[in-house]
């Protein structure tokens, strides 16, 4: 009789744990190779996990909504069909927590102000605690929402938002503003945020707390680009079987400008600025649920316009049908948010941490404009749009941001209306 241990997979390099959303199978059910067994979620993406083997589900170790560390056994699959015997490994982290059998990793000397942990903390929770200078005694005082009171990521983030934070470098207390309490009135409808909306909310608040945001605007004449697209879009679709939108051109131009201004294609680590080698451009995609996700076009500066068009359309479709892989939304170095999709002139998007800038593209509209000609100035109808750049003023000054935005304007306005692809 052969048994297979199904482990919680590692969905991305930075992922340490995942939440079980739904079990598609229960103990005793037959499962085929590549058949979906369960759906899990991380702070990045939701994924269905297929069975690597044929067999019968012998035992499931975690219930729905459990937060499970990467590499932990979540189920046993009996590949011989005999479910009468117990699997060799039946003890899991959840069971050890419930029986209080988890001990500290090693013996350490303690003082009156230093205590040992009495319960299990995931690597992610310990990492957040270390980064935010949260002591073991503080962790021990938290009421966890996980199995047997286990402290989860959202518990420690909530604690941070409800208390005063202490910066490790200065030991200076920085008060965190608590949101006002809202009491619903009669007839008000209360809609609980879904999991993705909660993650978005936490990420946006964190970004505003981390980065001092500044935003620059510039108007761009994209008449040549509009004329070129109108001329070529039908033949492009006939040949490539995919639509030609403006986004591939925006990504192409942005990638070129980022190569010239590497300080915009960067991240911040303490007092270090990390200039990214790769140019991986994320594009914000609105989902049918009303939420937002940012798939990433990797190595955008190395792709042709045709390649960018396919990448953009494929990623957008996968995002809307919930088929993105964890790798599709990781390692972005810069983001574009297209406000023009909603016929908006412009916007001031929030930086997608740990990046240092984000570009907003507005709606393209016909406007009267003054043009210089050999015989004098004339008023003509031109296609114009507004670009805005939100940037982290810790490391990006107005001069660099303004120069980058103006260079992007030049690239778009110099678009060759006779360009072939």
Show me where the domains of the chain are located: 3-90, 123-197, 211-413
Question: How do residues 144-197 score in pLDDT, each as one tens digit?
Answer: 776 556 777 778 887 877 664 444 444 445 555 678 889 999 999 999 998 888
Q: Which of 336, 337, 338, 332 is nearest to 355 (CA)?
A: 332
How much is the mean pLDDT over the chain?
85
Q: Return the higher-pLDDT residue of 151 and 277.
A: 277
Q: What whole-number distance in Å separates Cα of residue 295 and Cα of residue 301?
A: 16
- The class level of CATH for 3-90 reads mainly beta
For 14, list phi and psi in degrees, rounded to 5: -90, 0
| Helix/strand/coil for 132 | coil
- Cα distances (Å, whole numbers) of residue 2 to 31, 35, 37, 55, 78: 15, 19, 19, 10, 6
According to CATH, what is the number of the domain 211-413? 3.30.559.10
Can you read off the two tokens belonging to residue 80?
A: 């011989």
Residue 231 — pLDDT band, cuts 50, 70, 90? very high
Backbone phi and psi for residue 400, each to the nearest 5 degrees, phi listed first: -65, -45
Query: Choosing from 82, 194, 234, 393, which is the catalytic residue?
Result: 393
**Is 194 considered catalytic here?**
no
133 pLDDT tier (thresholds 50, 70, 90): confident
Q: pTM for the whole thing? A: 0.67
Greater confidence, 108 or 123? 123
Q: What is the pLDDT of residue 89?
A: 43
- Mapped onto helix, strand or coil, the DSSP state of residue 200 is helix
Please say if 397 is a catalytic residue: yes
């Amino acid at each position: 009789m052969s048994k297979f241990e199904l482990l919680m997979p590692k969905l991305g390099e930075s992922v340490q744990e995942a939440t079980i959303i739904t079990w598609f199978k229960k103990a005793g059910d037959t499962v085929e190779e590549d058949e979906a067994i369960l759906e899990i979620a991380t702070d990045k993406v939701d994924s269905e996990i297929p069975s690597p083997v044929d067999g019968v589900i012998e035992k499931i170790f975690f219930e729905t909504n459990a937060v499970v560390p990467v590499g932990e056994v979540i189920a046993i699959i009996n590949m011989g069909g005999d479910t009468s015997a117990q699997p060799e490994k039946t003890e899991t982290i959840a069971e050890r927590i419930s029986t209080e059998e988890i001990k500290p990793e090693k013996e350490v000397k303690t003082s009156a102000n230093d205590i040992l942990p009495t319960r299990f903390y995931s690597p992610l929770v310990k990492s957040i605690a270390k980064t935010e200078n949260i002591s073991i005694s503080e962790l021990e005082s938290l009421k966890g929402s996980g199995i047997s009171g286990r402290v989860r990521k959202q518990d420690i983030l909530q604690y941070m938002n409800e208390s005063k934070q202490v910066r490790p470098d200065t030991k200076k207390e920085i008060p965190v503003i608590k949101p006002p309490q809202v009491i619903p009135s009669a007839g008000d409808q209360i809609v609980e945020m879904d999991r993705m909306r909660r993650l978005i909310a936490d990420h946006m608040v964190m970004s505003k707390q981390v980065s001092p945001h500044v935003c620059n605007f510039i108007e761009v004449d994209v008449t040549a680009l509009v004329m070129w697209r109108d001329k070529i879009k039908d033949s492009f679709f006939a040949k490539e079987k995919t639509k030609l939108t403006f986004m591939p051109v925006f990504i192409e131009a942005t990638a070129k400008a980022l190569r010239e201004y590497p300080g915009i294609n960067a991240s911040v680590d303490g007092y270090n600025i990390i200039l990214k080698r790769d140019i991986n451009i994320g594009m914000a995609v609105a989902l049918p649920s009303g939420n937002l996700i940012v798939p990433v076009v990797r190595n955008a500066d190395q792709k042709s316009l045709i390649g960018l068009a396919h990448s953009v359309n494929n990623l957008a479709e996968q995002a809307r049908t919930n088929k993105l892989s964890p790798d599709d939304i990781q390692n972005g170095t810069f983001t574009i948010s297209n406000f023009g999709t909603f016929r908006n002139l412009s916007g001031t998007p929030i930086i997608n941490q740990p990046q240092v800038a984000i570009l907003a593209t507005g709606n393209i509209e016909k406007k009267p404009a003054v043009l210089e000609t050999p015989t004098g100035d004339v008023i003509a109808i031109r296609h114009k749009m507004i670009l805005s750049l939100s940037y982290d003023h810790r490391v990006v000054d107005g001069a660099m941001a303004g120069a980058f935005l103006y260079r992007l304007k030049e690239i778009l306005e110099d678009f060759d209306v006779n360009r072939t692809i």
